[in-house]
């Protein structure tokens, strides 16, 4: 790039080495500075290039807090004055390497207790970004890296947008956390790319585990105007902008969707939200209202409505809970509580798996793909060997067909997996995972056989979902090398692994288990060897309470609807069907045997399993949530609605009271180090909604923890609004 000259930098505070603001902004805010330089254009004009930079290395995402936003506004006002004086042909905004901006600095708003301050933040964003549309000259966003939330809204406020081809993180994740795109996103985006694409970006992708949009996808939907090579992205962007300014490049603009189409898309989106959330999560509904009005609303009216929504949601418990859950699953998940030093982990040069069924086959493909080591599997006969190989091949071919792996990578994975009936095939494995039928004597026999062929340093891991890991290793010569590695189905998609430590497990074996989980791209949580560990213990307590209500006369449809206020990903009977009724009953029996009448058996479910009946109907292809089949009522004894039976609120109360009791007992037993690990397990292993923050914040917020166990599970203000009495 030629002809550059610094015209000055406006700052409202200095940034320390830790990224904290001195003299400006909220305590702990990382001030993102707006640095300006002039770029000479081929026609002799000048483009003012504003670069967002938080002064930290490229591993620290650029975020925009109140002080950073105020500085950006002052810089843009200065460029507006220059543009009106005829000094500028254009203004462009870009970021430091790898980031345009990763959204707002939510730490700066998470502790607010005064709605007036929340309103100021909302209005400041609009006052700043709208300058890019009122500059008096064309404005450009050069999206050189991740642009999330407020970062993407900054780009949307510009007249034109370029993006580097390697950018893979463009998103408006606000509804995922409990907010709305409140700095213009709900108004500008549907008018730019159409209402259907806007719903996809604002609702569908965030609610699908915060799915990102790539540069190529963004270009296809009209979110950006051109995709440029990352090697010389900034130079190419300036050259492209010069061609636009010279009239050599014309960027077509999409006409507004017809009103009837707009209304139909919004109605369809509302129906989808109702089927999935049943009104339990406020942010997506507020966002949809804003999108619905965007076609006909004046900009000032639309922005004021965004301010209203953002103010309400910033002050909500849902936002605090969402930020708490996000922090758990991102920052805190990187350093698992209670994990031994990673230096103690043994090298893993090959992995053995006993069994080649569904879970074992999924695990084999994941290990071969991520660890890139030989996977040695053992089955009991040639028919099962053939079936196992066929299952592995089907998985790999599906990955290749979907474009997730190349043909060469598919061949490498298939070449890495070997299945045999010979136990000695596993002799050189550094870690062996047993994934056979959930029968304790069988698992004990497998471990005993393995001990005779494996090296003394090899780690023995079990994928059991509920059986005692201690009992599996009790009769071994070296029980200290036995651990649990509890994966969830489907193995490739579910992010959680429960690492189970027995009283005999040594640090080296546990550290190796954590290292394997990390190398597989999973979040590992250390748990003690107690019945059901964390996820299954709590899910089965929930399902046991629901089943007990039905056994007591509550109609199955009433019991199924009772948990909808929680916004869970599926109802209790759909969950039973997904897990498999025989599997769910097996775990329930195991927990009943170990933990007693808190996990009552269900004769009705046993009858359904014996008859091979489904508890929800076969999918009809509509994508609608699977509700319980009312026909299964006949499997439960006694008249429906008899005296003492529970209504919907009664079932929900029984479930929440039961969960509060169980979590209190689990913490007393030391199943995990603290309530945060329970929340991490439930969010990642059971899909517990982000807007609840996990189970513990919800039980605290609704009073159930204090009512049942006499104490809060988390300190006040951890995942809810601090005491507002502190205002003023």
- What pLDDT does 275 receive? 87
Nearest to 346 by CA among 486, 425, 492, 460: 460
Instruction: Say if residue 20's pLDDT is above 80.
Output: no
- The band of 373, judged by pLDDT with boundaries at 50, 70 and 90, is very high
104-109 average pLDDT score: 77
The structural domains of the chain, with segments of one domain joined by +, span 5-315, 342-528, 535-670
Please, which pLDDT band fits residue 722 given cuts at 50, 70 and 90? low
Summarize pLDDT for 616-651 with one digit per residue, the tens: 998 765 545 678 999 999 999 888 888 889 999 999
Strand order in the sheet with 146-148: 99-101, 146-148, 170-171
Q: Give the active site residues.
A: 153, 174
pLDDT at site 621: 57
Tokens of 89: 């042909």
CA distance 433 to 665: 30
Question: Which phi and psi angles does 240 have, rounded to 5°?
Answer: -65, -45
Quote the CA–CA distance of 54 and 65 in Å, as a whole number: 11
3-state secondary structure of 462: strand
In this prediction, what percent of the chain has a pLDDT beyond 90? 79
Two tokens at 440? 């304790």
Q: Evaluate if residue 721 carries a pLDDT over 70.
A: no
Would you say 36 and 8 are in contact if contact means Cβ atoms under 8 Å apart? yes
Architecture of domain 342-528: 3-Layer(aba) Sandwich (3.40)
Instruction: Please report the pLDDT score of residue 728 as a whole number.
Output: 25
CA distance 569 to 578: 12
Q: How many angstroms separate the most distant Cα atoms in the chain? A: 88
| pLDDT at 723 > cutoff 60 | no
Q: Which H or E run includes 268?
A: helix 259-277
Mean pLDDT (whole number) for 494-511:
96
Q: What is the pLDDT of residues 307-355, one digit of tens each?
A: 999 999 999 888 888 889 988 988 888 889 889 999 999 999 999 999 9
Whether the Cβ atoms of residue 23 and residue 14 lie closer than 8 Å to each other: yes
- Quote the pLDDT of residue 352: 97
**Which tokens sit at 316?**
């909500």
Beta bridge partners of 8: 36
3-state secondary structure of 395: helix
Span 288-299, average pLDDT: 97
Query: How far is residue 282 from each of residues 181, 276, 309, 641, 691, measured CA to CA in Å?
Result: 14, 13, 10, 33, 9
DSSP states of 625-679: -----GGGGGGS-S-TT-TT---HHHHHHHHHHHHHHHHHHHHHHTSSSSHHHHH
The yes-or-no verdict on residue 569 having pLDDT over 50 is yes
| Bridge partner list, 124 | none
Cis previous bond, 490, omega within 30: yes
Question: What are the backbone angles phi and psi of residue 426, rounded to the nearest 5°?
Answer: -85, 0
Task: For residues 706 and 326, give the distance between their C-alpha atoms in angstroms, rounded to a whole number.
Answer: 25
Instruction: Say what the pLDDT of residue 30 is.
Output: 62
H or E element, residue 6: strand 5-10
Q: Is the pLDDT of residue 725 over 50?
A: no
Question: Are 186 and 313 within 8 A, CB to CB?
Answer: no
Structure confidence by residue, pLDDT tens digits, 548-568:
999 999 999 999 999 999 988
pLDDT in tens, 440-494: 999 999 999 999 999 999 999 999 998 999 999 999 999 999 999 999 989 999 9
| 5-315 and 342-528 in the same fold | no
CA distance 282 to 286: 6
Rounded to whole angstroms, the Cα distance separating 305 from 299 reads 10
CA quadruple 303, 309, 310, 315: dihedral sign: positive
Average pLDDT over residues 30-48: 91
pLDDT of 395 higher than 90: yes
- The confidence score (pLDDT) of residue 322 equals 87
489 exposed, middle or buried (CB, 10 Å; 0-12, 13-18, 19+)?
A: middle
* Confidence at residue 211, expressed as pLDDT on a 0 to 100 scale: 92
Distance CA 544, CA 601 (A): 8
- Helix or strand (DSSP H, E) at 536: helix 535-551
- The model's confidence at residue 216, banded by pLDDT at 50, 70 and 90, is very high
Burial class of residue 607 (count of CB atoms within 10 Å of its CB; 0-12, 13-18, 19+)? middle
Contact 704, 660 (CB under 8 A): yes
Distance from first CA to last CA of the chain, Å, rounded?
52
Say which residue, 689 or 75, is predicted with more confidence: 75
Q: Helix (H, G, I), strand (E, B), or coil: what is residue 99?
A: strand
Q: Answer whether residue 719 shows pLDDT above 90.
A: no
Cα gap 465→584, rounded to integer Å: 11
Task: Give DSSP secondary structure letters for 274-286.
Answer: HHHHTT--HHHHH
Q: What is the CATH number of domain 535-670?
A: 1.10.1040.50
pLDDT reported for residue 608: 96
DSSP conformation class of 131 = G
**Amino acid 620: pLDDT:** 62
pLDDT bracket for residue 396 (50, 70, 90)? very high
The CATH number of the structural domain formed by 5-315 is 3.90.226.10
Residue 413 pLDDT grade (very low, low, confident, very high; cuts 50, 70, 90):
very high
Residue 299 has pLDDT above 80, yes or no: yes
Model pLDDT for residues 163-174, shown as the tens digit of each residue: 999 999 999 999
Residues 431 and 446: their CA atoms lie apart, in Å, by 14
The reported pLDDT for the residue numbered 14 is: 27
Task: At 146, list the tokens.
Answer: 């991740």
Q: Are 489 and 686 in contact (CB under 8 A)?
A: no
Residue 87 pLDDT > 50: yes
Which two tokens mark 652?
């929900």
- Split at pLDDT 50, 70, 90, the class of 8 is very low
Which pLDDT does position 494 carry in this prediction? 92
Q: Which whole number is the average pLDDT over 283-307? A: 97
Mean pLDDT within 247-258: 94
Do the beta carbons of residue 241 and residue 160 sit within 8 Å? Answer: yes
Give the CA count within 13 Å in the CB-facing half-sphere of 626: 18
CA distance 143 to 209: 23
């Amino acid at each position: 790039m030629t002809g550059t000259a610094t015209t000055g930098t406006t700052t409202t505070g200095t940034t320390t080495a830790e990224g904290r603001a001195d003299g400006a902004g909220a305590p702990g805010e990382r001030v993102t500075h707006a640095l300006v330089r002039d770029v000479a254009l081929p026609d002799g004009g000048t483009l003012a290039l504003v670069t967002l930079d938080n002064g930290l290395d490229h591993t620290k995402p650029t975020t925009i807090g109140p002080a950073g936003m105020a500085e950006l506004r002052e810089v843009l006002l200065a460029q507006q004055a220059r543009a009106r004086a005829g000094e500028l042909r254009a203004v462009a905004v870009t970021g430091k390497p790898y980031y345009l901006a990763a959204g707002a600095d939510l730490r700066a708003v998470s502790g607010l207790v005064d709605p007036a301050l929340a309103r100021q933040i909302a209005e400041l964003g609009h006052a700043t970004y709208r300058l890019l549309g009122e500059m008096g000259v064309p404005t450009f966003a050069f999206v050189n890296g991740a642009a999330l939330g407020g970062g993407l809204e900054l780009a949307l406020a510009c007249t034109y947008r370029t993006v580097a081809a390697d950018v893979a993180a463009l998103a408006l994740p606000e509804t995922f956390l409990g907010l709305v795109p409140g700095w213009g996103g709900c108004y500008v985006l549907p008018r730019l790319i159409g209402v259907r694409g806007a719903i996809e970006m604002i609702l569908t992708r965030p609610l699908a585990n915060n799915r990102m949009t790539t540069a190529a996808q963004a270009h296809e939907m009209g979110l950006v105007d051109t995709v440029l090579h990352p090697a010389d992205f900034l130079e190419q962007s300036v050259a492209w902008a010069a061609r636009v300014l010279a009239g050599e490049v014309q960027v077509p603009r999409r006409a507004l969707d017809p009103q009837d189409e707009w209304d139909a898309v919004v109605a369809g989106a509302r129906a989808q939200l109702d089927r999935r959330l049943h009104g339990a999560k406020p942010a997506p509904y507020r966002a949809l209202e804003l999108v619905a009005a965007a076609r006909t609303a004046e900009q000032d009216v639309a922005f004021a409505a965004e301010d209203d929504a953002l103010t309400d949601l910033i002050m909500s418990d849902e936002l605090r809970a969402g930020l708490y859950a996000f922090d758990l699953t991102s920052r805190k998940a990187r350093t698992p509580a209670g994990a031994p030093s990673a230096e103690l982990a043994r090298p893993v040069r090959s992995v053995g798996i006993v069994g080649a069924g569904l879970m074992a086959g999924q695990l084999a493909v994941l290990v071969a793909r991520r660890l890139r080591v030989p996977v040695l599997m053992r089955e009991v006969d040639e028919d099962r060997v053939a079936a196992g190989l066929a299952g592995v091949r089907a998985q790999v071919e599906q990955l290749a067909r979907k474009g997730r792996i190349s043909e060469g990578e598919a061949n490498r994975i298939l070449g890495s997996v070997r299945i045999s009936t010979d136990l000695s095939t596993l002799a050189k494995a550094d870690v062996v995972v047993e994934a056979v039928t959930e029968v304790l004597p069988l698992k004990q026999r497998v471990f005993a056989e393995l001990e005779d062929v494996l090296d003394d340093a090899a780690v023995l891991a079990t994928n059991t979902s509920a059986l005692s890991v201690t009992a599996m290793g009790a009769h071994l010569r070296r029980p200290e090398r036995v651990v649990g590695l509890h994966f969830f189905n489907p193995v490739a998609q579910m992010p959680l692994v429960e690492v189970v430590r027995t009283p005999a497990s040594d640090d080296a074996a546990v550290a190796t288990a954590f290292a394997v989980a990390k190398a597989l791209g999973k979040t590992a949580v250390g748990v003690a060897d107690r019945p059901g560990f964390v996820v299954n213990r709590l899910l089965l307590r929930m399902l046991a309470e629901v089943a007990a209500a039905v056994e007591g006369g509550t109609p199955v449809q009433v019991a199924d609807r009772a948990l909808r206020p929680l916004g869970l990903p599926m109802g209790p009977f759909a969950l039973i069907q997904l897990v498999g009724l025989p599997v769910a009953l097996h775990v329930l029996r195991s927990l009943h045997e170990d933990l007693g009448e808190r996990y009552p058996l269900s004769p009705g479910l046993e009858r359904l399993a014996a008859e091979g009946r489904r508890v929800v109907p076969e999918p009809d292809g509509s994508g609608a949530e699977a509700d319980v089949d009312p026909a299964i009522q006949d499997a439960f004894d006694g008249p429906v609605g008899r005296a003492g039976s529970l209504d919907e609120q009664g079932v929900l109360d029984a479930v929440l009271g039961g969960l509060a009791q169980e979590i209190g007992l689990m913490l007393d037993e030391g199943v995990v180090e603290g309530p945060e690990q329970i929340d991490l397990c439930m969010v990642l292993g059971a899909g517990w909604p982000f807007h609840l923050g996990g189970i513990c914040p919800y039980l605290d917020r609704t009073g159930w923890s204090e009512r049942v166990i006499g104490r809060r599970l988390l300190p006040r203000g951890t995942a809810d609004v601090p005491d507002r009495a502190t205002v003023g």
